[in-house]
Amino acid sequence: MIQPKNKLTHLDNELHKLKAESIKMWALVLKQLHKSRTSLVNIDKDLAREVILSEKRVNAFELKIDRDCEDIFALFTPVAVDLRFLLAVLKINMNLERTGDNAETIAQSVVDLPAHFDRKLLEITRVVEMFDQANIMISDVMHAFDKEDTLIARKTFKKDDLLDEINDNSTAIITEYIASNLDKNLTGQALYIYSIIRKLERVGDQAKNIAEEIIFYSEAKVLKHQPKGKKSGLDE
């Protein structure tokens, strides 16, 4: 058997497999997010129910990846970049699972939306725009993870600005809406949208966490708990 110089070791193979599993989980979570968004835009309750059912698969992935990480730690006692990679995967795993949870909760909200939904709510809150941006962020960090591209990861921090903006404005807008439409039904709808916005804010947070982990393992730099300007590393 020919031995090229940079042959993959047993451990390398295991890490590659782990990465592939993570990407698969990511793709699933993204799909959940997209379906959830579409179900919101079209108030498609059947599609929303699909999202709720698929949540099991996301959980199963999380358990498997956790177990695989544990096995690799036990069997190979990895060090340096391999160790950081595994620690990052564990945390990313947790964040992805929560993102999946969020997608499911949003879908549940869609299912629970009362009849005759007022589309104007979607427009004034810009919730769809927020949803799109959140999905882009999750998709971006997936690419960053896959390609080990910390530049893409860093751009995520800036993208969160839009989410913050929409989130910050949402309280005022929804309060205004409720005040001007003293209807139990419409108030209920507005509150659902409010909770969806909150969940999307968390999805944004998770994307940022994941970005931090990717930068940590690639560059051994810890960006947690740093002010935003320092994180992106880009000139403001």
Partner 1 sequence: MENTVLKAEDFNAYFGQNQILKNIRLEIRKHQVWAVMGPSGCGKTTFIRCINRMHELTAGATVSGSLKLYGEDIYKMNPVLLRRKVGMVFQRPNPFPTMSIYDNVISGYLLNHIRLTKAQKDEIVESTLKRAALWLEVKSTLHKRGTFLSGGQQQRLCIARALAMNPEILLLDEPTSALDPISTAKVEELVYELKSEYTILIVTHNMQQAARVSDRTAFFFLGELIEQDDTKVIFTNPKNEKTQNYITGHFG
Q: Where does this chain bind partner 1 (CB under 8 A)?
A: 1-3, 7, 9-11, 70-71, 74-77
**Which CB atom, from 14 or from 97, has the smaller least distance to partner 1?**
14
**Which CB atom, from 66 or from 132, has the smaller least distance to partner 1?**
66
What secondary structure, in 3-state letters, does 89-100 show? HHHHHHHHHHHH
Q: Distance between CA atoms of 110 and 46, rounded to whole angstroms?
A: 10
Q: 127-147 and 184-219 helices cross at what angle (nearest 10)?
A: 20
The DSSP letter of residue 11 is H
Chain-centre distance for alpha carbon 76: 30
**Which CB atom, from 10 or from 184, has the smaller least distance to partner 1?**
10
Closest CB 1 distance from partner 1, rounded Å:
6
- Residue 115 neighbours by CB under 8 Å, 6+ apart: none
**Which CB atom, from 77 or from 185, has the smaller least distance to partner 1?**
77
Q: Distance between CA atoms of 221 and 33, rounded to whole angstroms?
A: 30
Residue 158 and residue 232 in contact, taking contact as beta carbons nearer than 8 Å: yes
Residue 24: count other Cβ atoms within 10 Å of its Cβ.
13
**Which CB atom, from 3 or from 180, has the smaller least distance to partner 1?**
3
Nearest to 130 by CA among 203, 200, 67, 206: 200
Closest CB 77 distance from partner 1, rounded Å:
6
Closest CB 9 distance from partner 1, rounded Å:
6
Closest CB 3 distance from partner 1, rounded Å:
6
Closest CB 4 distance from partner 1, rounded Å:
10
**Which CB atom, from 74 or from 182, has the smaller least distance to partner 1?**
74
Q: Distance between CA atoms of 106 and 180, rounded to whole angstroms?
A: 25
Closest CB 76 distance from partner 1, rounded Å:
6
